Amino acid sequence: DAKTTQPPSMDCAEGRAANLPCNHSTISGNEYVYWYRQIHSQGPQYIIHGLKNNETNEMASLIITEDRKSSTLILPHATLRDTAVYYCIVRVNTNAGKSTFGDGTTLTVKP
């Protein structure tokens, strides 16, 4: 699986959009971008994934650049409960093995 690079930490004001970047410059054509988050003392939670088109669900939006070398997870109106570690991973979209979680970005939403 391709390696990802994320900033170690970010702050966001409550109610504002949180934009979390991820670099995956070595991504292969058949690899998807997945985002998870881990709130303190809980197991990671799946957020969203995509291949090349932008995706949106009830939790977030995922913007993938045209060259697919980077992506941004957008939480449109961050709340204090969105404070968590956010992981960006890339993997082939099958059950052909593990996903490698890096260090992620610690997002702190402040009042």
Partner 1 sequence: GAGVSQSPSNKVTEKGKDVELRCDPISGHTALYWYRQSLGQGLEFLIYFQGNSAPDKSGLPSDRFSAERTGGSVSTLTIQRTQQEDSAVYLCASSISGTGVGYTFGSGTRLTVV
| Contact positions vs partner 1 (CB under 8 A) | 32, 34, 36, 42-46, 49, 87, 93-95, 97-104
Q: Are 74 and 18 in contact (CB under 8 A)?
A: yes
Q: Closest approach of Cβ 66 to partner 1, in Å?
A: 21
42 in helix, strand or coil? coil
CA dihedral 92, 90, 58, 40 (to 10 degrees): 130
Q: Closest approach of Cβ 82 to partner 1, in Å?
A: 18
CA separation for the pair 103, 88 (Å, rounded): 9
If the CB atoms of residues 70 and 105 are measured against partner 1, the closer one turns out to be 105
If the CB atoms of residues 41 and 66 are measured against partner 1, the closer one turns out to be 41
If the CB atoms of residues 15 and 102 are measured against partner 1, the closer one turns out to be 102
Q: Closest approach of Cβ 93 to partner 1, in Å?
A: 4
CA 58 to chain centre: 15
